[in-house]
Amino acid sequence: MEKEKIDVSPLHSSMKKKAAFTLAEVLITLGIIGVVAALVIPFFVRKYQYQVFATQLAENYSIISNALKMAENDYGPQRNLGSS
């Protein structure tokens, strides 16, 4: 029995035609992504910090407001504490 030879030349030639990105194109793309990330990330960090600050401010306001209401219930309406 003789082995049949398979002609792989059509397969081989189709591999050469396959489009691919060059290393330079990939590096340029990664560089652009890096620059955009460097510009955008500080914005999101500041936005997050502002949201944290606003949440803490609202919580503190609520605590002080509740304390004032409790004091008014215990001692009556508030008086001008700063006047002599």
Total-model pTM: 0.54
Helix (H, G, I), strand (E, B) or coil at 18: coil
14 found inside a domain: no
Tell me how many domains the chain contains. Answer: 1
Mean pLDDT, the chain, integer: 85
55 found inside a domain: yes
Q: What is the pLDDT of residues 34-64, one digit of tens each?
A: 999 999 999 999 999 999 999 999 999 999 9
- Name the helix (H) or strand (E) containing 62: helix 23-75
34 found inside a domain: no
Residue 8 pLDDT exceeds 80: no
Instruction: Tell me the C-alpha distance between 78 and 75, whole Å.
Output: 8
What is the residue whose two structure tokens read 């082995």? 3
CA distances from 27 to 20, 24, 32, 43 (A): 14, 5, 9, 25
In terms of residue numbers, what domain contains 61?
A: 46-73
Instruction: Tell me the C-alpha distance between 14 and 51, whole Å.
Output: 56
